[in-house]
Amino acid sequence: MKKYLVITCCLVFTACFKNKHETETAKTAVSTVAQDIQIPKAIMAEIEKELSEDSKLISPVYLFLPLQIELHEKNTGVLKTNLLAISFPKGGGILDLKDVVVGQGSFYLHFPKEQFAKLPELLHLYYVSQAPVKKIDQENFGLGCGKFIDIKKQFKNLQKDEFFKLNTTHLRHLYVLAGHYIFVFRENNQVSLSQLTITDSRYLNDLCFPKTGAHE
């Protein structure tokens, strides 16, 4: 079992769906019920090491940021609605694709760039995989259980609304997406954090922790 630093924040889903005849957009807001955010200790140790190398005299100050994501269809009927915008509270939250992905085909996911406009420089964007490596049609999908990489170089691309295209055939999208996305912004000794966990409670047996879900 991986070791985690557990940080408590608040979240609960309260969805607001407009009449389908009015619009195909669904907006989900998230607010106040306690939920643990789990950040691997290896990642926190890496962040703290970088801070200590810069300043041994000032202790880091950690702040939590809200987070917004959007998903929209390429193929009609893939998602519950053709455009879904989700706003998480400070610290981020969990997206269960059971409530979003309902059909077969392709869709896009991105992080709207406006939310980052006034933030300090991105220090890291970690992806911690919760999906095993899966070979589908001679191509490997998934990073492997518990493995993590820094995808900071893709940060600007992930803000584009049609860069990150995903396909549901044979659960390709799930092997690519499932896991934790940890955003780390820094200005001097102030470190701002947010995270998104993506899972699908329908397919836990295909992921790394089928018995306990997203936060083992």
pLDDT tens-digit map of 140-162: 998 999 999 999 999 999 999 99
| Structural domains counted in the chain | 1
pLDDT for the residue 211: 46
Tokens 């519950």 correspond to what residue?
80
Does 208 have pLDDT greater than 70? yes
The helix or strand, by DSSP H or E, that contains position 51, with its residue range, turns out to be helix 41-54
Q: What does the DSSP 8-state code read for residue 84?
A: E
Cα R_g (the chain), whole angstroms: 17
The number of beta carbons lying within 10 Å of the beta carbon of residue 200 is 21
Q: What does the DSSP 8-state code read for residue 174?
A: H
Does residue 213 sit within a domain? no
Distance (Å, whole) CA 201 – CA 160:
27
pLDDT for the residue 28: 66
Percent of the chain with pLDDT over 90: 64
Percent of the chain with pLDDT over 70: 77
The parent domain of residue 172 ranges over: 4-204
Each residue's pLDDT tens digit, 7-58: 333 333 333 333 433 445 666 665 533 355 567 788 888 888 888 877 666 7
Does residue 209 sit within a domain? no
pLDDT for the residue 128: 94
The number of beta carbons lying within 10 Å of the beta carbon of residue 131 is 24
Distance (Å, whole) CA 182 – CA 194:
6
Instruction: Determine contact, residues 129/179, Cβ cutoff 8 Å.
Output: yes
pLDDT for the residue 25: 62
- The answer to whether the predicted template modeling score (pTM) of the entire model surpasses 0.85 is no
pLDDT for the residue 27: 67
Does 181 have pLDDT greater than 90? yes
Does 188 have pLDDT greater than 80? yes
pLDDT for the residue 33: 37
Does residue 216 sit within a domain? no
